[in-house]
Amino acid sequence: MKKQIALTVNGVKRELLVNPQDLLLNVLREQLGLTGAKYGCGIGECGSCTVLLDGEPILSCMTLAVAVNGSEVTTIEGLLGSDGSLHPIQESFLEHGAVQCGFCTPGMILMAKNLLDKNPHPSEEEIREHIRGNLCRCTGYTQIVQAIKEVSLTRKA
Amino acid sequence: MNGKDDFKIIGKPIPRHDAWEKAFGLTTYAADFSLPDMLHGKVLRSKYPSAKILSIDTTKAKRLKGVQAVLTAKDVPRNESVTRFGQTHTVGGGFEGLYRVLADNKVHFLGEAVALVAADTEEIALKALDLIKVEYEPIPGVFDPIEAMNPNAPQVQEGRSNIITHYEVVRGDVEKGFSEADVVVENTYRVQFVDHAYMEPESGVAWIDENGVITIRVSTQVIEHFRGIADVLNLPHNRVRVIGTYVGGGFGGKEDITVEAFLALLTYKTGRPVKLTYTREESILSHSKRHPYVMEYKTGAKKDGRLIALKARLVSDAGAYVYLSPWVLLYSMVDAPGPYRIPHVRVDGYTVLTNNTFTSANRGFGAPQVCFAYESQMDELARRLQMDPAEIRKINYLEKGEALATGQVLNHLVALKETTDQVLQVLGEKPLSKGKIRIGRGIASGMTSYGRMIFLHDTSRSHVSIEMDGSVTIRTGVQDIGGGQASSLCQIASEVLGVPLDHIKIYIADTALTPFAGTTTATRQLYMSGNATLIAAQEVRKTLIQKAARMMDLDPERLNLVDREVVDQGGSGKNLPLTEVIKACASDGLPLYHVALFKAPFRTLTQFERIEGDVFPDFTFGTHGVVVAVDEETGKVQVLKIVSCFDVGRAINRLSVEGQIEGGAIYGMGYALTEEVILKEGITLTPSFSEYLLPTSMDLPELETLLIESGDGVGPFGSKGVGEPSVCSVAPAIANAIYDAVGIRINELPLTPERILKALRKEENDENPLSRHR
Ligand code: FES
Ligand code: FES
């Protein structure tokens, strides 16, 4: 019944045995102990479970693990530098107070990374548009948008 | 160390220590924690809002392989007790309500817990829920609080009236006041059920530790529920330990017991660790909501704008259980007249049981509801008197030294004129309307208490110690719900002890190991535990300075602690490394720690019917100004700008304070425009985020946050609390701006396009062209 799949998670190759109905979110959290992706709604309405699949954001609560066999997955834990250093986006989130309870933060930061990888200097409008599916109940979004904008400004073109 | 400019750490915009781990995704929230051999818990919930339970058959569920426990009310050692929220004595006055763990012979609202399951996997637990057979007999319920007040209405809880409480506030002679009024405005306001919608659903893990103590690691605002949980199990209080995790949002929704009692029961019965996390749907269906109110307001003023009389009748829907409803109502009672000087006042308030989802704390705790009413009334009065809305407010704002209608004297600065002036200045000129898009501006002011009601005899404790290497440890039972509660305490200790922030470590929220600090509710933590931590740190400081003075042969008055050194400020140039002083203290056997107890001022309330005298330690005052664009064709409102100005007393961490105020503005905007838990005959029609509409990044207006630092609060360094006050006056400011834009006033939240269109159409058909104002 179980199926073997191979994923590259945060740069490390992992062979996993999963049930056909297992969600990527649960495989990451329970089998791999990567709890940075969160359960917020389970039905694609909050963005707390966002991870990057081959660089593109997906909702891991809506994704079957077997369906992404062979892909590369980046979770928030994968942004930690090998020397323990912060990614510039994380640093900017801290400086702008964009982290309150922090529950939406992993999803937000991965969305920001995806945006800035594709578009190093997005407008405020583009930033807001990009994170529209990620809910945050604490910050009121302003500090998050500012944090993302600031990274794009300080980056060399 | 008293002058504002002397602060090294206080007031600076410093990234919080907990934010680092959160940004790395490393913070272990309640659901991120697991133990070997752990079971998964699930709750069977009532399908009806009002029904008798004829029978429950659990045989099939129990027989399912992998199921370890199926529990119903008869398995709960003490299924019924009273709700408590950290108060150490019985308050009376309806403040202690019924706490029932599992429904026994009746269900009272949709989603009430009926049975519990623990199984080897979540899938098996879900299957087991399906196998439990409950036979219900639906019975008539009551879903409207006004109807529920009728003595012939169905009784929600057996053996008691649906009316939980009646309170009154009386000052002067209200009828005489109205007879002297030149203008009287009368309106009925309605506000809705609201969900807290924290991103983290309720969750926890429980286990029995090696000493036989039931240990529950849980996302909560109140670790001191351990007492109530022990009562449920009929265990001594010291046999239950609650560890609070960093909370993924609370807003009052994790103030009641959520998963804790269920977890305790399941782990107690199975002997194994158990995890229970609510689904989002379950969270919306079953946890508390913000109280809907019906508010009849009658306000009278003189020609020159002076308020003379106010009469209000408040009815709040408590849902099926009492929980915090009387508390919330009491807040509304005190705040109902608003921050205004009114010689004649009468307020009557009722909170009433219905078969709706139960209601309890939600950010603002009864203050935003009445603020919507009193601030809409103020704008209506301004219109009738053809006065400027800001002017009429300024004539009537209370000032320091004056009393509320309850008689409580405001002993601290009431910075309302200041906040309003600043808001108006930043709001600037009103942009021009274009075609069908009408632009409007509105303001509203509010008052919200911080700190608990003083008859609760509130206390907090904090333990501060300094280690041999000069690093500092704080231990305090504070729950951190994302507002930077723990981090502010580190800043306070850092300031007092002259030790850099990264040399400070804080342990929070553990009933076995940290001294009790009370609830993270009522915007009380900075005030209460901030003061406790300040006192504890000052005591340690005193020990160090006195020892250093002897070692340096200097007057202690001359010494200060700066950057891990004792520095002579008297100009001798002498200084001493802090570690040397610590060593000397240690070898003298001097205490290098202090546990401080901070007591809020308190008094006992002898009667509850009429609310008189001091109720709160202090209030936070502020004003919101907004600019909206209303589309006359679709009724859609876009908020273009929100300016918030608060007297925060003193900003301990500027980033955190601004974050609270900005987050509060958007929380209030959701309340005003889109958020509503819709219940039809007790059935929730909005159990997901596609029906329950939260603000997203696309709805984000331009936000401006202005701080006044009067230094006149009762918190450490003269600070005030701002977490809840930040929400209070957003909704009426938006309603007032909509009026300014299109000349219609809607007295019911949320201000949906449908309501606005309907009102616009009605205005169009109206004969009298003067009734619509621009
Ligand atoms: S948990 Fe996946 S979108 Fe909410
Ligand atoms: S910081 Fe709490 S949900 Fe975003």
DSSP for B345-362, please give it. Answer: EEEEEEEEE-SSPPB---
A134: which chain B residues are within 8 Å (Cβ-Cβ)? 697
Instruction: Kindly calculate the radius of gyration of chain A based on its CA atoms and give it in whole angstroms.
Output: 16
Q: What distance in angstroms lies between residue B372's CA and the mean position of ligand 1's atoms?
A: 33
* CB of A48 shorter than 6 A to ligand 2: no
Whether residues A76 and B200 touch (CB distance < 8 A) is answered with: no
Domain ranges of chain B: 4-27+459-599, 33-139+202-277, 293-453+606-771
Tell whether domain A3-79 is in CATH 3.10.20.30: yes
Tell me the fold of B33-139+202-277.
Aldehyde Oxidoreductase; domain 3 (3.90.1170)
Residue-wise pLDDT tens digits, A61-103: 999 999 999 999 999 999 987 787 788 999 999 999 999 999 9
* CB of A106 shorter than 6 A to ligand 1: no
Closest ligand relative to B659 C-alpha:
2
Per-residue pLDDT at B771: 44
Q: What distance in angstroms lies between residue A47's CA and the mean position of ligand 1's atoms?
A: 5
DSSP secondary-structure letter at B634? T
Q: What distance in angstroms lies between residue A45's CA and the mean position of ligand 1's atoms?
A: 6
For B362, the token pair is 């939600």
Q: What distance in angstroms lies between residue A104's CA and the mean position of ligand 2's atoms?
A: 5
Half-sphere exposure at residue A46, Cβ-oriented, CA atoms within 13 angstroms: 28
Per-residue pLDDT at A156: 52
B3: Cβ–Cβ under 8 A, 6 or more apart, which residues? Answer: none
Whether residues B23 and A45 touch (CB distance < 8 A) is answered with: no
Distance from CA of A79 to the nearest CA of B (A): 7
**Looking at the complex, does the CB of residue B688 fall below 8 Å from at least one CB of chain A?**
yes
| Amino acid present at B683 | I
Half-sphere exposure at residue B570, Cβ-oriented, CA atoms within 13 angstroms: 11
Nearest CA in chain A to B12: A95
For B562, the token pair is 């700066």
DSSP secondary-structure letter at B390? H
Half-sphere exposure at residue B228, Cβ-oriented, CA atoms within 13 angstroms: 29
For B270, the token pair is 């199975």
A1 CB-contact burial (10 Å; exposed 0-12 / middle 13-18 / buried 19+): exposed
**Which one, of B120, B107, B23, lies nearest residue B68 by Cα?**
B120
Per-residue pLDDT at B5: 53
- Alpha-carbon distance of A37 to A28, in angstroms, equals 8
* CB of A98 shorter than 6 A to ligand 2: no
- Residue bearing the CA closest to ligand 2, atom 3: A136
Distance from CA of B338 to the nearest CA of A (A): 26
- Give the number of other CB atoms < 10 A from CB of residue A114: 17
For B360, the token pair is 């309890």
Tell whether domain A88-154 is in CATH 1.10.10.10: no
User: Whole-angstrom distance between the N-terminal and C-terminal Cα of chain B?
Assistant: 53
* CB of A97 shorter than 6 A to ligand 1: no
The separation between CA B206 and the C-alpha centre of its own chain, rounded to angstroms, equals 26
Closest ligand relative to A26 C-alpha:
1
Atom of ligand 1 nearest to the CA of A60: 2
Whether residues B24 and A138 touch (CB distance < 8 A) is answered with: no
B689: which chain A residues are within 8 Å (Cβ-Cβ)? 41, 45-46, 135
Q: Which helix (H) or strand (E) holds B153?
A: none
- Selected residues 369-398 of chain B with any CB under 8 Å from a CB in chain A: none
DSSP secondary-structure letter at A87? P
Q: Which of B18, B199, B246, B363 to mutate to test the pocket of ligand 2 (most atoms within 8 A of CB)?
A: B199
Q: What distance in angstroms lies between residue B16's CA and the mean position of ligand 2's atoms?
A: 14
Query: Left (φ > 0), alpha (ψ -120 to 50) or beta: where does B711 sit?
Result: left
* CB of A101 shorter than 6 A to ligand 2: yes
**Looking at the complex, does the CB of residue B205 fall below 8 Å from at least one CB of chain A?**
no
Q: How many residues does chain A have?
A: 157
Residues pairing with B639 in the sheet: B628
Whether residues A48 and B199 touch (CB distance < 8 A) is answered with: yes
> Which of B23, B29, B696 lies at the smallest CB-CB distance from A135?
B696
Residue-wise pLDDT tens digits, B616-668: 999 999 999 999 999 999 999 999 999 999 999 999 999 999 999 999 999 99
A143: which chain B residues are within 8 Å (Cβ-Cβ)? 658-659, 662
Q: What distance in angstroms lies between residue B663's CA and the mean position of ligand 2's atoms?
A: 9
**Which one, of B340, B414, B424, lies nearest residue B390 by Cα?**
B424
Q: Is B629 helix (H, G, I), strand (E, B) or coil?
A: strand
Q: Which of A29, A35, A61 to mutate to test the pocket of ligand 1 (most atoms within 8 A of CB)?
A: A61
Residues pairing with A57 in the sheet: A52
B251: Cβ–Cβ under 8 A, 6 or more apart, which residues? Answer: A137, B196, B198, B362, B363, B481, B667
Tell whether domain B293-453+606-771 is in CATH 3.40.50.80: no
Residues of chain B with pLDDT under 70: 1-5, 766-774
Helices (H), B436-524: 485-497
- Give the number of other CB atoms < 10 A from CB of residue B105: 9
> Which of B23, B201, B689 lies at the smallest CB-CB distance from A90?
B23
- Residue bearing the CA closest to ligand 1, atom 3: A44
For B174, the token pair is 């209200």
Instruction: Check: pTM over 0.90? Answer yes or no.
Output: yes
**Which one, of B241, B210, B258, B208, lies nearest residue B31 by Cα?**
B258
Whether residues B13 and A97 touch (CB distance < 8 A) is answered with: yes
Strands (E), B503-657: 504-508, 559-562, 565-568, 575-577, 593-599, 618-631, 637-647
Distance from CA of B222 to the nearest CA of A (A): 16
* CB of A51 shorter than 6 A to ligand 1: no
B13: which chain A residues are within 8 Å (Cβ-Cβ)? 97
* CB of B556 shorter than 6 A to ligand 2: no
Whether residues A101 and B249 touch (CB distance < 8 A) is answered with: yes
Per-residue pLDDT at A157: 43
For B320, the token pair is 């099926």
Q: What distance in angstroms lies between residue A45's CA and the mean position of ligand 2's atoms?
A: 15
Residue-wise pLDDT tens digits, B87-144: 777 888 788 899 999 999 999 999 999 999 999 999 999 999 999 999 999 999 999 9
Distance from CA of A18 to the nearest CA of B (A): 14
- Alpha-carbon distance of B558 to B545, in angstroms, equals 9
- Give the number of other CB atoms < 10 A from CB of residue B335: 28
> Which of A36, A94, A143 lies at the smallest CB-CB distance from B659?
A143
Whether residues B689 and A38 touch (CB distance < 8 A) is answered with: no
**Looking at the complex, does the CB of residue B664 fall below 8 Å from at least one CB of chain A?**
yes
Domain ranges of chain A: 3-79, 88-154
Among B697, B698, B699, B727, the residue to mutate for chain A (most A Cβ within 10 A): B697
Whether residues B247 and A101 touch (CB distance < 8 A) is answered with: yes
For chains A and B, CB pairs below 8 A equal 168
B232: Cβ–Cβ under 8 A, 6 or more apart, which residues? Answer: B76, B77, B78, B79, B81, B101, B261, B264, B265
- Residue bearing the CA closest to ligand 2, atom 2: A101
The separation between CA B120 and the C-alpha centre of its own chain, rounded to angstroms, equals 36
Cis peptide before B695 (omega within 30 of 0): no
* CB of A57 shorter than 6 A to ligand 1: no
* CB of A97 shorter than 6 A to ligand 2: no
- Alpha-carbon distance of B331 to B189, in angstroms, equals 18
- Alpha-carbon distance of B67 to B64, in angstroms, equals 6
Give the orientation angle of helix A105-118 with respect to helix B17-24, to 10 degrees: 60
For B737, the token pair is 């701006």
The reply to whether B293-453+606-771 shares the fold of B4-27+459-599 is yes
For B709, the token pair is 């630092």
Tell me the fold of B4-27+459-599.
Aldehyde Oxidoreductase; domain 4 (3.30.365)
- Give the number of other CB atoms < 10 A from CB of residue B429: 6
For B368, the token pair is 């935003």
Whether residues A95 and B15 touch (CB distance < 8 A) is answered with: yes
Residues of chain A with pLDDT under 70: 155-157
- What is this model's ipTM? 0.97
Whether residues B482 and A102 touch (CB distance < 8 A) is answered with: yes
